Amino acid sequence: MFRSVGIALKQSDSKALLVFKQLLPLLKIYHTKRVISHLYLDWESAKIAEVNSIKKLSKDLPLKIQSIKNWADRVDLLLSIGGDGTLLRSARHLLSGDGWKKAHLLGINAGHLGFLTYLHSSSSKEALKKLFESSKEKVSSESRSCLAVTIKARGKKQMVHAMNDAVLSKGALSRLFEFDVSIDNHFLSSYRADGMVVSSPTGSTAYNLAAGGAILTPSIEALQLTPICPQSLTNKPIVVSDASRIVLRLGKHSSDVFVTLDGHLAIKMETGDRVEVRKSPKRIQLVLPPGVGPSHYYQSLRQKLRWGLSAKEKESS
């Protein structure tokens, strides 16, 4: 069973807050049944709302309103209510410590385009009932590979884990800059471009897709490099084994360049700095809600990208 449950909401979003409030009676039931013993709400989520209102609605619950940094390593189930951005933020906190070893992550879609938030808010109550009444071992999930990104910038070195991508790009001024790419110590190419996206299979439907990269199914053991608006039209995306070590080294005109991880953490780079990307030893377990089967991924692609519908989907639309 999921004894310890954490909740993160999309910040400054009234719909995500409403979904959370609608779930409180259900959470009270499973606390009374001694299924849920600990319940946490991210402080950043609570600051957006009226804290007193939340405390009043949850007075019969052991709800602790704290920063997700304080409890990400303690929960069995992390509910992310919002869109893919909220889920990536939740995943980032699991990856920053040991939370990824224990927690299952479930995205409840209270936004728009969502490839990772499998559960729609309208069906969240019924799905959570089934989850709370199942043993943890019987819950279906997908294990998603992540990236380990080592950044050597401005004389400092740090490693960060990301679920989707590492993006090298310009800052305020949109001008070409130069960088070299090597794979497993083999020189691949030099580039003059607006940047480069290095993505996991999960991240292939994010910035990578917008930059012209291919969609990789989550089970593929690969990494993808997609140049952003390269000067040479022959510079195309390339897919490599996820056992590869990818190194991007900055060249000329790199005075205002940043590496951005999952669209959030941005680190400034300079000429000669480098970014190394590998497959991370850490993984994220995404919960598959009851009723969601193996074909859901392709159904999601059709619906989100408005591809041709099946005959059955046409009848129901």
Instruction: Enumerate the active-site residues.
Output: 84
- Per 3-state DSSP, what percentage of the chain is helix, strand, and coil (rounded to 5)? 30, 35, 35
Q: Are 3 and 36 in contact (CB under 8 A)?
A: yes
**What kind and span of H or E run contains 93?**
helix 84-96
Query: Residue 118, exposed/middle/buried by CB under 10 A (0-12, 13-18, 19+)?
Result: buried
Helix 124-132 and helix 14-32, axial crossing angle in degrees, nearest 10: 30
* Bridge partners (DSSP) listed for residue 38: 4
How far apart CA 269 and CA 271 sit, in angstroms, is 7
How far apart CA 284 and CA 99 sit, in angstroms, is 9
Q: Are 20 and 9 in contact (CB under 8 A)?
A: yes
Q: Which residue has the tokens 């799905």?
A: 127
CA 307 to chain CA centroid, nearest Å = 23
| Residue of 92, 125, 127 whose CA lies nearest to 288 | 127
CA 269 to chain CA centroid, nearest Å = 23
Distances (CA, A) of 16 to 13, 45, 56: 6, 9, 18
In terms of phi and psi (left: phi > 0; alpha: psi -120 to 50; beta: otherwise), the region of 34 is left
